[in-house]
Amino acid sequence: MATRTVAGRTWHFDKIIGFLSVRGRGLWHPTSVASAPDGTMYVLNSGARPGCAITVLNMEEEFLGEFAEDEFSWPEGLALDGEGNLYCSDGHDHYVAVYTPDGERIAQWGEEGSSEGQLNSPSGLAFDSDENLLVVDSLNGRVQKFTKDGNFISSWGSPGYGEGEFNRPWGITTDSAGDVYVTDWGNDRVQKFSAEGEYLMRFGSLIDDGGQLS
């Protein structure tokens, strides 16, 4: 079993789930994953072009189905809300789509632009403790907060290289304290923010040398 210790924590490799396939039970260039409390996993099977789809699996490697085939131009991020609905961002068409656990699209919101509430290549998605959706607005260099219905609440960040600034950010997650972590892809770092968007700290630099990023 492969193990690695990072920042005082030891990680053990467990298993591989999935295999190469253009359609059906396998995966082709999976990019994002969201896991439900019951162990169901939703995977963006983005390499199956034409026909990007969301593939549904579980930890026992059982194929449970797929949905949203041919419904996206360039799917990017996934997130599950407290009711089990799945949110998926489309980086090419600049919107967020919402699906039931059964794969029915029930909502879609967002439009291209740089004003408050508008999106330019949305990527990573995450819910905060209040069930508001955090959207990485990649080409606008910011994070935006919305209600689950797509109503704009707030945003933070701007394009740049300084603290709290972004150069093509992509991924996002939150911790149990409500703090937010954003992968700042173009600046080779991860930035940490408070739940209100206050800059707290950064991790990484442009060198691949044990805890650094490139």
pLDDT digits (tens, 9 = 90+) for 11-27: 555 545 554 455 556 67
Domains of the chain by residue range: 1-71, 74-214
Q: Specify the pLDDT at position 70.
A: 84
Q: Specify the pLDDT at position 10.
A: 56
What pTM does this model have?
A: 0.86
Q: Which CATH number does 74-214 carry?
A: 2.120.10.30
Output the CA–CA distances (angstroms, integers) from residue 13 to 9, 38, 126, 150, 209, in the order listed: 13, 21, 25, 38, 21
Residue pLDDT, tens place only, 103-159: 999 999 999 999 999 999 999 999 999 999 999 999 999 999 999 999 999 999 999
Q: Which residue has the higher pLDDT, 52 or 44?
A: 44
Q: Which of 114, 102, 101, 48 is nearest to 75 (CA)?
A: 48
